Amino acid sequence: MDQDLYINETNEEYDALVIGSGISGGWAAKEFCERGLKTLMIERGRIVEHQKDYIGEGKSVWQYPNRMKVDNLLVEEQYNVQKLCYAFHDGTKHFFGNDKDYPYTTEKGTGFSWIRANQLGGKSLLWHRQSYRFSDYDFNANKLDGHGNDWPIRYKDLQAWYSHVEEHAGISGNYDNLAQLPNSEFLPPFEWTKPEIDLKAKFTELFPDRPMIIGRTAHLTKPSKLHLSQGRVQCQARNECQKGCSFGAYFSTQSSTLPAAAKTGNLHIAANSVVHSLIYDEKTNRVKGVRVVDNDDLSTREYFAKVVFLCASTLGSTQIMLNSTSKKFPNGIANSSGVLGHYLMDHVYNAGASGRIEGYHQEFYSGRRPTGAYIPNFQFEPSKYKKNYKRGYALSGGASRSNWQNNGQLDGIGVDFKHQLTQAGDWYFGLNAQGEMLPRFDNQVSLHASKTDKWGIPQLHINCQWSDNERLMMLDAEQTAKYMLEKAGLKDVKSYTSIDNNSPGLAIHEVGTARMGKDPKTSVLNAYNQTHDIANLFVTDGSSFCSSAVVNPSLTFMALTVRAVDYAVKEMKAKRI
């Protein structure tokens, strides 16, 4: 990467500041740069360069000191929260935040697992890459059942922008033509295994309202010319994505949006720049720039621009806004509504079932598929809701053969046991629930009254809990998944709910806290992710969500961001910003 890309001190007034370099920040920077605007991307963490800095990639398990497990003292001292993430291991731990450096507090009797990825690329390096469009059922849900405020946009507002990001990012999937889950612009889908094909047919027959589709994922199954020109090649099916992928086969800032932005010559990056607060000019009612504390030496500096995009992650952006106070905005910038920090949501991933499939012992697969089976939400409108709770959930999973890792505890000593472990075992199929969490005013983040982090920024205080709605949903999802597997003929079906063992946060789909809305009295952002209060301030990450919906949110972060940039640039040209 061009060394001129990185800057530290500067007096330049940029056209646009983009705070954050993850999925949203990467897109914002690319779109601004390609429209000819001088753009500064501000990242609080260190620089991570594509390929060169994927230090966990390409090593075999025996080449890791503890065979991919993480030293227990290191975990205890630095990763007590991060260790809860499924993707946290010795090959990825350097992409997770050090909990010691990023303290936060939670309200007594509550918990929240805040997974951090504070480096260039953010969580775009670590994400699970599942990519789904929202449908109008999602945008209508709040309005129809009265939970949360009405989204100020509908599917038609985002449709073309979804296509725009999908063509560049590369989304594999099948044209399933489902009302509740609109098609994307697809690269070819990943293949099914034989037992999955037969189960899919069985489900269609038994549960016609619950089609099972192949998971849609941001992987290049067949790269287009555009993808090849980005220096990206076909997915090799290693499924070790979170270590970083030098093939550029999955979408990340590094593989996709950053090179496009850099190519324009309009991009600068200020890394190791922890945004303390926004600089607000009361006379003009504009944000002039940002105050930054150096990540390493704690020195301070400022950056200036005509327009500011907050893309610092849901809780990151909200923390910055809460910490940006002035006479006009004593409770956080652009917070005249008072809802900033409220309506925090995550997804609830706390139920499921799995069982054994008989037969298919001559069937096998080759490679490690980085996606699975997906049964989209089938309770997507009020008439389909269950009686005792609102909204719905999707089920995701897949089939595979058991192996030595699953079977190490079986009975057996000696030659036969060893032989058994070297062979693929029976087929198993599982389904896990991914449920919607209702927007609730009480689920809130605020700044701690006295505690600060090492950069002198007040710590975030999180007060977030599941409600009975999520609890009842998971109980139902457990029973439903179990019933479906048993009906389909699986054996030894086991099911679980774990909602009382897990605090919110672990789906890593935290959204809300600076929600959009038509009414400035009850929302922070308008239909273009622009703050109601300040024309040149936009927030385009997950904090802008009015509801969590059921699907994974990242594709919608992308679409909202590019649409907001398009709007902002037009407004700048029209001299309204």
Partners of 292 in beta bridges: 275, 301
Q: Does 62 bind another protein (CB under 8 A)?
A: yes
Among 30, 44, 83, 93, interactor with another protein by CB under 8 A:
93
Tokens of 463: 């007060």
Contact code string over 173-202 relative to another protein, x by CB under 8 A? -----------------xxxxx-x------
Q: Does 361 bind another protein (CB under 8 A)?
A: yes
Q: What number of CA atoms fall less than 13 Å from residue 99's CA on the CB side?
A: 18
| Residue with token string 């560049």 | 168
Instruction: Determine the Cα–Cα distance for residues 123 and 116; give it in Å rounded to an integer.
Output: 8
Q: Does 80 bind another protein (CB under 8 A)?
A: no
Among 11, 330, 413, 574, interactor with another protein by CB under 8 A:
413
| Cβ atoms of 518 and 527 closer than 8 Å | yes
Q: In what order do the strands lie in the sheet with 105-106?
A: 105-106, 458-463, 444-452
Q: Does 403 bind another protein (CB under 8 A)?
A: yes
- Please say which residue, 342 or 369, places its beta carbon nearer to another protein: 369
Q: Which part of the chain contacts another protein (CB under 8 A), choosing from 387-395, 418-426, 464-472, 523-531?
A: 418-426
Single-letter code of the amino acid located at 506: L
Tokens of 64: 């890791």
Q: Does 71 bind another protein (CB under 8 A)?
A: yes
Q: Which part of the chain contacts another protein (CB under 8 A), choosing from 103-111, 122-130, 154-162, 409-417?
A: 409-417
Nearest distance, CB of residue 234 and another protein, angstroms: 7
Mark out the alpha helices in 275-353 (DSSP H runs).
314-322
- Please say which residue, 235 or 549, places its beta carbon nearer to another protein: 235
Q: Does 68 bind another protein (CB under 8 A)?
A: yes
Q: Does 269 bind another protein (CB under 8 A)?
A: no
Max Cα distance, the chain (Å): 82
Q: Does 3 bind another protein (CB under 8 A)?
A: no
Among 52, 328, 386, 418, interactor with another protein by CB under 8 A:
418
Q: How many residues bind another protein (CB under 8 A)?
A: 69
Among 84, 424, 457, 472, interactor with another protein by CB under 8 A:
424
Q: Which part of the chain contacts another protein (CB under 8 A), choosing from 282-290, 362-370, 381-389, 566-574?
A: 362-370
Contact code string over 442-481 relative to another protein, x by CB under 8 A? ----------------------------------------
Nearest distance, CB of residue 46 and another protein, angstroms: 8
Residue 165 φ then ψ, to 5° = -75, -35
Instruction: Determine the Cα–Cα distance for residues 268 and 41; give it in Å rounded to an integer.
Output: 6
| Cβ atoms of 372 and 129 closer than 8 Å | no
Q: Does 84 bind another protein (CB under 8 A)?
A: no
- Please say which residue, 55 or 228, places its beta carbon nearer to another protein: 55
Instruction: Determine the Cα–Cα distance for residues 532 and 537; give it in Å rounded to an integer.
Output: 9
Contacts made by residues 465-469, CB under 8 angstroms, sequence distance 24+: 465/110, 465/504, 466/348, 466/437, 466/499, 466/504, 467/438, 467/440, 468/389, 469/389, 469/390, 469/391, 469/438
Among 366, 383, 450, 501, interactor with another protein by CB under 8 A:
366
Instruction: Determine the Cα–Cα distance for residues 1 and 220; give it in Å rounded to an integer.
Output: 23
Q: What angle do CA 486, 498, 508 make, to 5 degrees?
A: 110
Interface positions with another protein (CB under 8 A): 55, 60-62, 64-74, 77-78, 86, 89-90, 93-94, 98, 100-101, 190-194, 196, 234-240, 296, 361-370, 401, 403-405, 407-409, 411-415, 417-419, 421-425
